[in-house]
Amino acid sequence: MNDVTPLERLERWLLTAVSAPDGLEQGLARARDVDARDLDEVILPSQRVSAADRLRVYSNMYFSRLVEILSEDFPAVTVALGSSGDAIFRDYLDRHPSTNQRLTPLGGHLPTYFLESRPDLPNAHVLAALAHLEHTRELVFEGARGTLLDPAALAAMAPDSWPRARLSFIPASALIRSEWPVNDYLDAVLNGDDATLPAPGLQRILLWRKDYKVRRLVVSPSQFAILQSLRYGRTLMEAIGAGFDAAESDADAVPEDPETIAASLGDWFRTWAEAGVFGALTVDG
Protein backbone atom coordinates (compact mmCIF):
# COMPACT_ATOMS: atom_id res chain seq x y z
CA MET A 1 0.00 0.00 0.00
CA ASN A 2 3.07 2.29 0.28
CA ASP A 3 2.87 3.21 -3.40
CA VAL A 4 -0.79 4.27 -3.13
CA THR A 5 -1.27 8.03 -3.00
CA PRO A 6 -3.63 9.62 -0.44
CA LEU A 7 -6.04 10.52 -3.25
CA GLU A 8 -6.10 6.95 -4.56
CA ARG A 9 -6.72 5.63 -1.05
CA LEU A 10 -9.58 8.10 -0.61
CA GLU A 11 -11.09 7.10 -3.96
CA ARG A 12 -10.93 3.42 -3.02
CA TRP A 13 -12.48 4.16 0.35
CA LEU A 14 -15.36 6.08 -1.23
CA LEU A 15 -16.06 3.43 -3.88
CA THR A 16 -15.99 0.66 -1.28
CA ALA A 17 -18.30 2.61 1.02
CA VAL A 18 -21.01 3.27 -1.57
CA SER A 19 -20.88 0.00 -3.52
CA ALA A 20 -21.98 -2.60 -0.95
CA PRO A 21 -25.22 -4.36 -1.94
CA ASP A 22 -26.70 -4.27 1.58
CA GLY A 23 -26.30 -0.56 2.08
CA LEU A 24 -24.01 2.03 3.57
CA GLU A 25 -23.37 0.30 6.89
CA GLN A 26 -22.00 -2.76 5.10
CA GLY A 27 -19.99 -0.50 2.82
CA LEU A 28 -18.45 1.43 5.69
CA ALA A 29 -17.46 -1.80 7.41
CA ARG A 30 -15.72 -2.94 4.24
CA ALA A 31 -14.14 0.49 3.75
CA ARG A 32 -12.28 0.15 7.05
CA ASP A 33 -10.13 -2.49 5.39
CA VAL A 34 -9.08 0.17 2.86
CA ASP A 35 -8.63 3.06 5.27
CA ALA A 36 -9.22 2.98 9.02
CA ARG A 37 -10.49 6.54 9.23
CA ASP A 38 -14.00 7.17 10.53
CA LEU A 39 -16.71 8.56 8.28
CA ASP A 40 -16.72 11.99 9.93
CA GLU A 41 -13.04 12.36 9.10
CA VAL A 42 -13.79 12.02 5.40
CA ILE A 43 -17.29 13.44 4.84
CA LEU A 44 -18.44 16.60 6.58
CA PRO A 45 -22.08 16.95 7.66
CA SER A 46 -24.20 19.81 6.40
CA GLN A 47 -26.41 21.98 8.59
CA ARG A 48 -29.35 19.62 8.10
CA VAL A 49 -27.90 16.28 6.97
CA SER A 50 -25.43 14.04 8.77
CA ALA A 51 -22.30 12.76 7.07
CA ALA A 52 -23.79 9.25 6.94
CA ASP A 53 -27.01 10.44 5.32
CA ARG A 54 -25.09 12.48 2.77
CA LEU A 55 -23.09 9.42 1.74
CA ARG A 56 -26.16 7.18 1.89
CA VAL A 57 -27.65 9.12 -1.04
CA TYR A 58 -24.78 7.95 -3.24
CA SER A 59 -24.86 4.45 -1.80
CA ASN A 60 -28.53 4.06 -2.68
CA MET A 61 -28.07 5.57 -6.13
CA TYR A 62 -25.05 3.42 -7.02
CA PHE A 63 -26.69 0.03 -6.78
CA SER A 64 -30.10 1.21 -7.90
CA ARG A 65 -28.62 2.50 -11.14
CA LEU A 66 -26.59 -0.66 -11.81
CA VAL A 67 -29.63 -2.86 -11.13
CA GLU A 68 -31.62 -0.66 -13.49
CA ILE A 69 -28.98 -1.12 -16.20
CA LEU A 70 -29.06 -4.90 -15.81
CA SER A 71 -32.85 -4.87 -16.01
CA GLU A 72 -32.68 -2.85 -19.23
CA ASP A 73 -30.00 -5.04 -20.81
CA PHE A 74 -31.58 -8.33 -19.70
CA PRO A 75 -35.35 -7.85 -19.99
CA ALA A 76 -36.08 -11.56 -20.45
CA VAL A 77 -33.97 -12.54 -17.44
CA THR A 78 -35.70 -9.81 -15.44
CA VAL A 79 -39.15 -11.15 -16.32
CA ALA A 80 -38.07 -14.72 -15.57
CA LEU A 81 -36.73 -13.73 -12.14
CA GLY A 82 -39.91 -11.91 -11.18
CA SER A 83 -40.02 -10.27 -7.76
CA SER A 84 -36.65 -11.75 -6.76
CA GLY A 85 -34.85 -9.99 -9.61
CA ASP A 86 -33.66 -6.96 -7.67
CA ALA A 87 -32.09 -9.03 -4.88
CA ILE A 88 -30.48 -11.46 -7.34
CA PHE A 89 -29.01 -8.65 -9.43
CA ARG A 90 -27.60 -7.08 -6.25
CA ASP A 91 -26.04 -10.39 -5.26
CA TYR A 92 -24.56 -10.68 -8.76
CA LEU A 93 -23.10 -7.17 -8.57
CA ASP A 94 -21.57 -7.94 -5.19
CA ARG A 95 -19.82 -10.99 -6.66
CA HIS A 96 -19.00 -9.30 -9.99
CA PRO A 97 -18.62 -5.56 -9.32
CA SER A 98 -18.44 -3.10 -12.17
CA THR A 99 -14.85 -2.67 -13.36
CA ASN A 100 -15.37 -0.93 -16.70
CA GLN A 101 -16.51 2.54 -17.70
CA ARG A 102 -18.59 0.92 -20.44
CA LEU A 103 -21.93 -0.56 -19.40
CA THR A 104 -22.11 -3.53 -21.78
CA PRO A 105 -19.55 -5.69 -19.89
CA LEU A 106 -21.55 -5.29 -16.66
CA GLY A 107 -23.70 -8.37 -17.25
CA GLY A 108 -21.06 -10.47 -18.98
CA HIS A 109 -20.73 -12.89 -16.05
CA LEU A 110 -24.46 -13.49 -15.61
CA PRO A 111 -24.52 -16.84 -17.49
CA THR A 112 -21.77 -18.34 -15.33
CA TYR A 113 -23.22 -16.67 -12.22
CA PHE A 114 -26.47 -18.60 -12.63
CA LEU A 115 -24.68 -21.89 -13.30
CA GLU A 116 -21.86 -21.68 -10.77
CA SER A 117 -22.87 -19.24 -8.03
CA ARG A 118 -26.64 -19.74 -7.95
CA PRO A 119 -27.44 -23.30 -9.03
CA ASP A 120 -29.98 -23.25 -6.19
CA LEU A 121 -32.24 -20.97 -8.21
CA PRO A 122 -35.18 -22.59 -9.97
CA ASN A 123 -34.52 -22.71 -13.72
CA ALA A 124 -30.85 -21.74 -13.26
CA HIS A 125 -29.87 -23.38 -16.57
CA VAL A 126 -32.53 -21.64 -18.64
CA LEU A 127 -31.70 -18.35 -16.90
CA ALA A 128 -28.08 -18.83 -17.96
CA ALA A 129 -29.16 -19.49 -21.55
CA LEU A 130 -31.35 -16.39 -21.56
CA ALA A 131 -28.52 -14.29 -20.13
CA HIS A 132 -26.13 -15.61 -22.78
CA LEU A 133 -28.55 -14.70 -25.59
CA GLU A 134 -29.26 -11.24 -24.21
CA HIS A 135 -25.60 -10.43 -23.54
CA THR A 136 -24.68 -11.60 -27.05
CA ARG A 137 -27.42 -9.33 -28.34
CA GLU A 138 -25.77 -6.39 -26.57
CA LEU A 139 -22.33 -7.29 -27.93
CA VAL A 140 -23.69 -7.52 -31.48
CA PHE A 141 -25.37 -4.14 -31.08
CA GLU A 142 -22.01 -2.62 -30.14
CA GLY A 143 -20.09 -4.50 -32.83
CA ALA A 144 -17.81 -2.56 -35.14
CA ARG A 145 -18.96 -1.34 -38.51
CA GLY A 146 -17.64 -3.19 -41.50
CA THR A 147 -18.04 -3.55 -45.22
CA LEU A 148 -21.30 -5.02 -46.47
CA LEU A 149 -21.45 -7.51 -49.32
CA ASP A 150 -23.57 -6.51 -52.30
CA PRO A 151 -25.95 -9.47 -52.82
CA ALA A 152 -25.51 -9.01 -56.58
CA ALA A 153 -21.84 -9.99 -56.25
CA LEU A 154 -22.81 -13.36 -54.83
CA ALA A 155 -25.50 -13.90 -57.45
CA ALA A 156 -23.06 -13.06 -60.26
CA MET A 157 -20.30 -15.41 -59.10
CA ALA A 158 -19.34 -17.99 -61.73
CA PRO A 159 -20.20 -21.59 -60.79
CA ASP A 160 -16.58 -22.71 -61.14
CA SER A 161 -15.58 -20.18 -58.45
CA TRP A 162 -17.74 -21.73 -55.73
CA PRO A 163 -15.19 -24.34 -54.58
CA ARG A 164 -12.62 -21.56 -53.96
CA ALA A 165 -14.96 -18.87 -52.61
CA ARG A 166 -15.12 -17.66 -49.03
CA LEU A 167 -17.70 -15.44 -47.35
CA SER A 168 -16.82 -13.31 -44.35
CA PHE A 169 -19.36 -12.01 -41.87
CA ILE A 170 -19.94 -8.45 -40.76
CA PRO A 171 -18.28 -7.76 -37.36
CA ALA A 172 -21.65 -7.12 -35.72
CA SER A 173 -22.83 -10.73 -35.90
CA ALA A 174 -22.80 -13.91 -33.83
CA LEU A 175 -23.98 -17.52 -33.77
CA ILE A 176 -25.39 -19.23 -30.69
CA ARG A 177 -26.05 -22.91 -30.09
CA SER A 178 -28.23 -23.09 -27.00
CA GLU A 179 -29.41 -26.06 -24.94
CA TRP A 180 -32.66 -24.18 -24.37
CA PRO A 181 -35.01 -22.65 -27.00
CA VAL A 182 -34.86 -19.18 -25.48
CA ASN A 183 -35.40 -17.08 -28.61
CA ASP A 184 -39.20 -17.34 -28.46
CA TYR A 185 -39.18 -16.36 -24.80
CA LEU A 186 -37.15 -13.25 -25.58
CA ASP A 187 -39.51 -12.41 -28.44
CA ALA A 188 -42.52 -12.68 -26.14
CA VAL A 189 -40.93 -10.42 -23.53
CA LEU A 190 -39.90 -7.78 -26.08
CA ASN A 191 -43.38 -7.84 -27.63
CA GLY A 192 -45.09 -7.50 -24.27
CA ASP A 193 -46.73 -10.92 -24.54
CA ASP A 194 -47.10 -13.58 -21.86
CA ALA A 195 -43.85 -15.54 -21.66
CA THR A 196 -43.49 -19.13 -20.48
CA LEU A 197 -40.05 -20.57 -19.77
CA PRO A 198 -39.28 -23.30 -22.31
CA ALA A 199 -38.51 -26.96 -21.80
CA PRO A 200 -34.99 -28.12 -22.73
CA GLY A 201 -34.24 -28.36 -26.43
CA LEU A 202 -31.44 -27.38 -28.79
CA GLN A 203 -31.79 -24.09 -30.62
CA ARG A 204 -29.41 -22.39 -33.03
CA ILE A 205 -29.63 -18.63 -33.48
CA LEU A 206 -28.00 -16.22 -35.93
CA LEU A 207 -27.69 -12.63 -34.70
CA TRP A 208 -26.62 -9.61 -36.71
CA ARG A 209 -27.07 -5.85 -36.67
CA LYS A 210 -28.83 -4.04 -39.48
CA ASP A 211 -30.13 -0.47 -39.48
CA TYR A 212 -29.10 -0.05 -35.83
CA LYS A 213 -31.23 -3.00 -34.74
CA VAL A 214 -30.11 -6.50 -33.74
CA ARG A 215 -31.88 -9.15 -35.80
CA ARG A 216 -32.29 -12.75 -34.69
CA LEU A 217 -33.03 -15.78 -36.83
CA VAL A 218 -33.48 -19.37 -35.67
CA VAL A 219 -31.64 -21.65 -38.11
CA SER A 220 -31.64 -25.39 -38.75
CA PRO A 221 -28.70 -27.68 -37.89
CA SER A 222 -27.51 -27.69 -41.51
CA GLN A 223 -27.81 -23.91 -41.81
CA PHE A 224 -25.94 -23.45 -38.54
CA ALA A 225 -23.14 -25.75 -39.68
CA ILE A 226 -22.80 -23.85 -42.96
CA LEU A 227 -22.74 -20.46 -41.26
CA GLN A 228 -20.34 -21.60 -38.56
CA SER A 229 -17.98 -23.08 -41.13
CA LEU A 230 -17.98 -19.83 -43.06
CA ARG A 231 -17.18 -17.92 -39.87
CA TYR A 232 -14.22 -20.26 -39.37
CA GLY A 233 -12.93 -19.19 -42.79
CA ARG A 234 -13.75 -22.31 -44.77
CA THR A 235 -14.72 -22.24 -48.44
CA LEU A 236 -18.31 -22.35 -49.61
CA MET A 237 -17.98 -25.96 -50.70
CA GLU A 238 -16.45 -26.97 -47.37
CA ALA A 239 -19.22 -25.15 -45.53
CA ILE A 240 -21.93 -26.78 -47.63
CA GLY A 241 -20.35 -30.16 -46.95
CA ALA A 242 -20.48 -29.42 -43.23
CA GLY A 243 -24.16 -28.61 -43.62
CA PHE A 244 -24.92 -32.00 -45.16
CA ASP A 245 -22.86 -33.72 -42.46
CA ALA A 246 -24.79 -31.93 -39.70
CA ALA A 247 -28.11 -32.92 -41.21
CA GLU A 248 -27.09 -36.57 -40.99
CA SER A 249 -25.31 -36.56 -37.62
CA ASP A 250 -27.41 -34.29 -35.37
CA ALA A 251 -29.45 -36.82 -33.39
CA ASP A 252 -31.19 -34.10 -31.37
CA ALA A 253 -32.83 -32.43 -34.37
CA VAL A 254 -35.60 -33.25 -36.78
CA PRO A 255 -33.98 -35.09 -39.72
CA GLU A 256 -33.31 -32.92 -42.77
CA ASP A 257 -33.67 -34.35 -46.25
CA PRO A 258 -30.43 -33.94 -48.27
CA GLU A 259 -32.37 -33.26 -51.46
CA THR A 260 -34.32 -30.50 -49.73
CA ILE A 261 -31.08 -28.98 -48.46
CA ALA A 262 -29.55 -29.06 -51.95
CA ALA A 263 -32.63 -27.41 -53.44
CA SER A 264 -32.66 -24.73 -50.73
CA LEU A 265 -29.01 -23.65 -50.78
CA GLY A 266 -29.48 -20.87 -53.31
CA ASP A 267 -32.40 -19.39 -51.37
CA TRP A 268 -30.50 -19.61 -48.09
CA PHE A 269 -27.44 -17.75 -49.36
CA ARG A 270 -29.58 -15.17 -51.13
CA THR A 271 -31.61 -14.57 -47.97
CA TRP A 272 -28.52 -14.20 -45.79
CA ALA A 273 -26.83 -11.87 -48.27
CA GLU A 274 -29.91 -9.67 -48.67
CA ALA A 275 -30.35 -9.56 -44.90
CA GLY A 276 -26.87 -8.03 -44.55
CA VAL A 277 -25.10 -10.89 -42.80
CA PHE A 278 -22.05 -11.10 -45.07
CA GLY A 279 -19.24 -8.59 -45.26
CA ALA A 280 -17.15 -9.71 -48.21
CA LEU A 281 -16.73 -12.38 -50.89
CA THR A 282 -13.28 -13.58 -51.89
CA VAL A 283 -12.12 -16.30 -54.28
CA ASP A 284 -8.84 -18.13 -53.68
CA GLY A 285 -6.25 -18.19 -56.43
* Nearby residues of 202 by Cβ (< 8 Å), 6 or more positions away: 177, 178, 179, 181, 252, 253
| Section 121-149 average pLDDT | 96
pLDDT-derived band at 39, boundaries 50, 70, 90: confident
The string of pLDDT tens digits covering residues 91-133 is 999 899 888 878 889 999 999 999 999 999 999 999 999 999 9
Residue 20: partners with Cβ closer than 8 Å, 6 or more residues away: 26, 27, 29, 30, 59, 94
* 45 vs 148: which has the higher pLDDT: 148
Beta bridge partners of 156: none
**CA atoms within a 13 Å half-sphere pointing along the CA-CB vector of 274:** 7
Question: Residue 95, SS3?
Answer: helix
Instruction: Report, in this order, helix, strand and coil percent for the chain, each rounded to 5.
Output: 55, 10, 35
Same domain, 23 and 82: no
Are 224 and 264 found together in one domain? Answer: yes
Q: Per residue in 151-207, pLDDT tens? A: 999 999 998 998 999 999 999 999 999 999 999 999 999 999 999 999 999 999 999
Are residue 65 and residue 78 in the same domain, yes or no?
no
Sign for the CA dihedral angle at 184, 189, 191, 194 comes to positive
More confident residue, 217 or 48: 217
Please state, in angstroms and rounded to a whole number, the distance separating the CA atoms of residues 241 and 129: 29
Answer whether 268's CB lies under 8 Å from 260's CB. no
Q: How confident is the model at residue 8 (pLDDT cuts 50, 70, 90)?
A: confident
What total of structural domains would you count in the chain? 3
Distances (CA, A) of 57 to 17, 54, 60, 69: 12, 6, 5, 18
Question: End of a domain among 70, 103, 125?
Answer: 70
Write out pLDDT tens, residues 13-27: 888 888 777 778 888
Q: Check whether residue 254 and residue 168 sit in a common domain.
A: yes
Half-sphere exposure of 234 (CA within 13 A, CB side): 15
Q: Between the CA of residue 91 and those of 6, 33, 47, 58, 232, what are the distances in Å?
A: 30, 21, 35, 18, 37
CA nearest to 104, candidates 58, 135, 63, 125: 135
Domain stop point among 89, 115, 142: 142
**Residue 117 sits in the same domain as residue 190:** no
| pLDDT the model gives residue 251 | 60
Of the two residues 30 and 141, the one the predictor is more confident about is 141
Mark whether 162 and 269 lie in a shared domain: yes
223, 153: one domain: yes
Rg of the chain, C-alpha, whole Å: 25
Asked whether residue 97 falls in the same domain as residue 129, the answer is: yes
* 0.75 exceeded by pTM: yes
Confidence of residue 250 (pLDDT cuts 50, 70, 90): low
pLDDT at position 34, please?
Answer: 62
- List residues bridging with 149 in a β-sheet: none
**Does the pLDDT at position 1 exceed 60?**
no
pLDDT more than 90, % of the chain: 67
> 158 and 137 in contact (C-beta within 8 Å)?
no
Shared-domain flag, residues 274 and 186:
yes
19 and 134, same domain (yes or no): no
Parent domain of 92: 74-142
Query: Same domain, yes or no, for 229 and 261?
Result: yes
Spatial CA neighbour of 277 closest among 155, 170, 123 = 170
Q: What is the mean pLDDT of the chain?
A: 91
Note whether 144 and 276 are within 8 A (CB). no
Residues 160 and 276 in one domain: yes
What kind and span of H or E run contains 169?
strand 165-169
Single out the residue in 70, 100, 117 at which a domain terminates.
70
